[in-house]
Structure 1
Amino acid sequence: MNSLKWIPYLRLITLAALVSVAHGKDKPNVILIFADDISARELPFYGSSTWTEPSGRDTQDPNFQAKTPVFDKLAEEGVWVTNAWAATVCSPSRAMMMTGRYANLHKWWHNNDYGKIDDGTKWPKPVALYLTSPLQIGHLAQQAGYATQWSGKTQMKHCDYELFGFDEGCFTPGSYLFGQNPHTDFQLIQNKGKKTQTNLDTGEEIDFYAQASWYWQPSVALMNHPSNKEAIEWWPNTPESKKSFGLTTYAPDVEMDFIFEFIERKHAEGKPFFIYHTEHLGHDGFDYLDPTSGSMWPGTPVVEWDGEGYTRIEPKITGDKGVYDTHGTVSDPGIHKHVEYLDYHVWLYMEKLKEMGIEDNTIIIFCADNGTWKYGKSSHDRQKGTHVPFLIYAPGQNLTKQGEQDILVSLADILPTLADIMGTEIPEDYEIHGESLWPYLTSDQEKHRDWIYAYKSDKQLIRGDKVMLDGYGKWWDVSETPDDLISFAQITDWETASPEHRAERDRLSAILPDYDNYHTEHDPVIQ
């Protein structure tokens, strides 16, 4: 099927949202939190013996293991999945999750490896995701009568952000939309003809990669917010926000502010809401507050857990031009601190839902886009790049499962799962690869999937319950999970493997050709 024939469906989805007969009060709200570059092993409830230290190396030092009391509670009272797979890196993984499809259809094969289309200009252009896959999670939510908001990182290059099915957006960094931000000098600008960048804050030439800050004093853009004069514009955009913006402005907190304001408005209007919160937390970033830092994970505001709740210490930062004093109000660097700040964010969500009286009618889904930097990100070794955390907390939804679930889940499953939760349908002739997780969660069904699949350009990865094929063409015995979640035994002699292992190898091998069109259909075909 040529998926591009569905381009007109973008307009039909908008109409469906306007004429939906669904009553908001009967539909659960949904908050999808999509963290960045965080392997399952970084979450303590996964029980890994190994995690990541601030330098990016493996460690078993308990000082560098995140403390996550809120995640631990939700994992115990909700549902968490032992083996959930993404793709190996950001863009194709987000494409998988947003579309419910693999790269053989959506054509986002790897970062900077996108299918091309001829738009009549001199050079073919990377295809926008909604052209190959126009029915996505935002569109489904609108179709079901939900108010939709997208907040955080986007990673959707070459695209019109108003065509993803979201009513409003708070995007960090906003430079994805505009370029150089006039509100902040926390930017690394690419030097023409060189591989280096200039730090606008210090004027120094460095070797990192071009970026505007998505943490401290960030680059932020708003889409269709009531305060906007244009559909998409820079923030701060009001006298009040301009007055408060500065060194202590922290993008993840800005995202939460706009999310909560949106939730309050839409709840007051009697509409169910769908929040797509694509956190930057977990992703590396240049440390503008400490340019000499040896960690890729800049510190966060300090938060303290007292056994019942979090207290956030108000940041105090003074200085300029790369020399700053944080006065003990910014944490040490490291991915464990990012995970802990995510835990704080989830606590904020829980407190807000309780305050509004909608905790039992709101579903929280937490997952990540790929493995941790240096350990798993972009790796096709075993499941280092693909194994991500996956948790669902759905009080009031009569789930039949609780706690650890030893099943296989693909991020492609989120789209059909949302369709079931929201009470809307995917057209029968619109091809997807995901399978709804909702029947498993709400019935006595004992198994969800027989296999999960991932990709990295022309490399394919697949696993079942007993065996796994990685991107190097190596087979691994996954019938038992090692303490570090990755040290599986390689299968080199199939004569010594069990008949069940060999049978599953044959079944998985027979599946791969269905998705193996990187060299034959790399680009979408427009008819």
Structure 2
Amino acid sequence: MITRAISAWVTVLVLCHLFLATVEAGSTSGGSNVLLIISDDGGLDGDAYAQATSCPAPNLDALAQNGLQFTNAFASVSSCSPSRSTILTGLPNHQNGMYGLHQGYHHFESFDRVRSLPLLLGDHGIRTGIIGKKHVGPEPVYPFDFAYTEENNSIMQVGRNITRIKNLVKQFFTEGHNDTRPFFLYVAFHDPHRCGHTHPEYGQFCEKFGNGEPNMGTIHDWKPVKFDPNRVKVPYFVQDTEAARRDIAARCTTVSRLDQGVALVLEELRRAGHEDNTLVIYSSDNGVPFPGGRTNVYEPGVFEPFILSSPFHPESKGQKSSSLTSLLDITPTVLDWFNLTYPDYYILKKGETAKLTGRSLLPHLKTAHPNNLRSLQSEIGLGNEDEFSKLNRADDVDAVFASHTLHEVTMYYPMRSVRTRRFKLIHNLNYGMAFPIDQDLYISPTFQDILNRTRSGAPLPWYKTLLQYYNRPEWELFDLELDRQELYNVAHKSTYSRVFKSLQARLKSWQNDTYDPWICAPHSVLQDSGAYAHNHQCMPLYDIPTH
């Protein structure tokens, strides 16, 4: 009798737990929502990360304290449009088709059959909105119910004017006041992207835009914070010179606008009554726009801030996760939050099913997830707690991948990489060419300073020479435990030969799983149709001299 009573009690507890987990995880019937905030060329700013690249960001620090902070998060590509496409599809750029920038003569777009996050959510009755920088296409692949972007507004207004952004967020909530559907709102700041090449009148980072000075206009909700160039933090990948310090100081002022803008968005979320039923995700599209940063797959180009804040997981607040995390995880995380499964479909060829290689991050929040049934069983004496611990460890991936093809249309320098906790392997496919420099970085004070000092022979307190930066070998392998700055390539060191071959195999396997057209490059040609349709082959070019 006692045994039966305990068994019945346990069953009731387990069923209750499953019911609550389903509701709290954010089923569409439960009305939970998602707010995704992405900065533009953002860095590891604020005390939350305490990096040498950081500018003060007290509101981002507060968000980190109110959520789970991932300390090993990485972009899967180091370029604006391609990265945004991966965020909104969960597919690497070589799979979704957004190989480079979307706007102007670059004109890259995702494939027509790609099922993006806003498309999938809209199909399941979830209201979608975007404010700020969209930078992806075509429209049928990335549709939003509510859209104020560079496609129908000034990007300066919807991406940098934080008062305008605040009002648009308020408008989104006001228009949806009587709408019972859950929502997905994507706020994509244009800060702290450089603007010296497009709007030099506002400074290198548009740090003067809206600051109240003559001809600069006024952003009423922004209290500009100015920084002394002599006191800013200079990261290892930027030369320590006056020109670079001034550049960094300008960026930090723009970060202050982003930081205050994030606070305004979160305040509108609270005022609309959605603070207690909305998952908030904060990250950036790629690394900072300095040498070694954006367009590189070195650490400064792909290391990203990542914060996950859930009202249903109070125990996660202020916590940190060292799990290797990718921006490819955002789509599966959002789908999981809404209890949606990724559809079974193909993009280009029947039989080549599109599959997500990222994974949901909700398990890291500890509660409101079916896996926690095992935790509950352990607490009440059922199951094996050691097995549950092993399950949690297995959920923690041990590698993240990157695929970079182009930035601007002229910048053909495809790279593929795999990063584990200790090692990073980079495959530079176009290694015979000098590494290309994008337009806005080229005219920046930091890069012009490097050029001028190199040309004149003046001292250059930088971690590389300009020629070393331009000229890269086909394979680069770094032992990050011993070499955080990625200065010593050990790809051909005999002591690392097993690691080198193992990572090459892992990278090739990921490229195969994601149908990478560059899988055979640069020394072979991919044959995957006709006689090779069911037996893809890399046919050698015999372009490597043999001795």
Q: TM-score, normalised by structure 2?
A: 0.62
Distance 1:361 1:300, change over 3 A: farther
One-letter code aligned to 2:146: E
Conserved? CA contact 1:463–1:508, under 8 Å? no
User: How far did 1:289 drift?
Assistant: 8.6
- Gaps of at least 5 residues in structure 2 are 1-25, 227-248, 346-353, 367-371, 373-388, 406-413, 429-474, 531-547
User: How far did 1:144 drift?
Assistant: 3.4
Conserved? CA contact 2:92–2:328, under 8 Å? yes
One-letter code aligned to 2:32: P
- Kindly provide the CA deviation profile for residues 185-227 of structure 1, in whole angstroms up to 9, marking residues without a partner as x: xxxxxxxxxxxxxxxxxxxxxxxxxxxx633xx4x6xxxxxxx
| 2:365 aligned with 1:441 | yes
2:134 counterpart (154, 178, 191)? 154
* Alignment: residue pair count: 389
2:100 counterpart (110, 119, 127)? 110
| 2:411 aligned with 1:421 | no
2:452 counterpart residue number: none
Q: Following the alignment from structure 1 to structure 2, what is the Cα–Cα distance between the partners of residues 411 and 141?
A: 18
User: How far did 1:125 drift?
Assistant: 10
SS in 1 for 2:301: coil
1:334 counterpart residue number: 250
SS in 2 for 1:405: strand
2:181 counterpart residue number: 271
One-letter code aligned to 2:480: V
Distance 1:256 1:25, change over 3 A: farther
Q: Following the alignment from structure 2 to structure 1, what is the Cα–Cα distance between the partners of residues 134 and 90?
A: 17
One-letter code aligned to 1:101: L
> Which one has the bigger strand percentage?
1
Distance 1:260 1:462, change over 3 A: same
1:30 counterpart residue number: 34
1:70 counterpart residue number: 59
User: How far did 1:292 drift?
Assistant: 8.0
2:110 counterpart residue number: 129
Conserved? CA contact 1:78–1:393, under 8 Å? yes
Please list, as runs of the form range in 1=range in 2, the aligned pairs for 1:429-468 lying within 5 A after superposition.
429=345, 430-442=354-366, 443=372, 445-446=392-393, 447-457=395-405, 458-468=414-424
User: How far did 1:407 drift?
Assistant: 1.3
Distance 1:289 1:495, change over 3 A: closer
1:169 counterpart residue number: 147
Conserved? CA contact 1:100–1:434, under 8 Å? yes
Distance 1:406 1:395, change over 3 A: same
Conserved? CA contact 2:80–2:285, under 8 Å? yes
User: How far did 1:270 drift?
Assistant: 2.4
One-letter code aligned to 1:478: L
Distance 1:411 1:481, change over 3 A: farther
Q: Following the alignment from structure 1 to structure 2, what is the Cα–Cα distance between the partners of residues 30 and 292?
A: 33
Distance 1:523 1:88, change over 3 A: farther
> Which one has the bigger helix percentage?
2
Please list, as runs of the form range in 1=range in 2, the aligned pairs for 1:246-325 lying within 5 A after superposition.
251-286=161-196, 291=201, 293=203, 295-299=204-208, 301=210, 316=212, 318-319=214-215
Conserved? CA contact 2:27–2:337, under 8 Å? no
Distance 1:23 1:89, change over 3 A: closer
| 2:301 aligned with 1:382 | no
Distance 1:106 1:470, change over 3 A: same
- Kindly provide the CA deviation profile for residues 219-260 of structure 1, in whole angstroms up to 9, marking residues without a partner as x: x6xxxxxxxxxxxxxxxxxxxxxxxxxxxx963432221122
Conserved? CA contact 1:286–1:298, under 8 Å? no
Supply the RMSD in Å over aligned alpha carbons.
Answer: 3.9
| 2:80 aligned with 1:93 | no
Conserved? CA contact 1:152–1:252, under 8 Å? no
- Kindly provide the CA deviation profile for residues 298-332 of structure 1, in whole angstroms up to 9, marking residues without a partner as x: 23556xxxxxxxxxxxxx4555xxx8899997555
Q: Following the alignment from structure 1 to structure 2, what is the Cα–Cα distance between the partners of residues 524 and 275?
A: 41
Which of the pair has more CA radius of gyration? 2
Q: Following the alignment from structure 2 to structure 1, what is the Cα–Cα distance between the partners of residues 35 and 311?
A: 13
Conserved? CA contact 2:210–2:219, under 8 Å? no
Distance 1:43 1:508, change over 3 A: farther
1:470 counterpart residue number: 426
- Gaps of at least 5 residues in structure 1 are 1-21, 52-64, 115-123, 176-212, 221-248, 303-315
Percent identity between matched residues is: 22
User: How far did 1:169 drift?
Assistant: 0.3
Return the structure number with greater relative CO, CA threshold 8 A, min gap 6. 1
Q: Following the alignment from structure 1 to structure 2, what is the Cα–Cα distance between the partners of residues 126 and 287?
A: 19
Distance 1:403 1:397, change over 3 A: closer
1:209 counterpart residue number: none
Conserved? CA contact 2:288–2:301, under 8 Å? yes
Q: Following the alignment from structure 1 to structure 2, what is the Cα–Cα distance between the partners of residues 250 and 400?
A: 31
User: How far did 1:459 drift?
Assistant: 1.6
User: How far did 1:273 drift?
Assistant: 1.5
Conserved? CA contact 1:130–1:164, under 8 Å? no
Q: Following the alignment from structure 2 to structure 1, what is the Cα–Cα distance between the partners of residues 219 and 64?
A: 34
Conserved? CA contact 2:401–2:507, under 8 Å? no
- Kindly provide the CA deviation profile for residues 344-381 of structure 1, in whole angstroms up to 9, marking residues without a partner as x: 22222332333333312111101111111124454335
Distance 1:25 1:67, change over 3 A: farther
Distance 1:521 1:260, change over 3 A: farther
One-letter code aligned to 1:279: F
Q: Following the alignment from structure 1 to structure 2, what is the Cα–Cα distance between the partners of residues 388 and 366?
A: 10
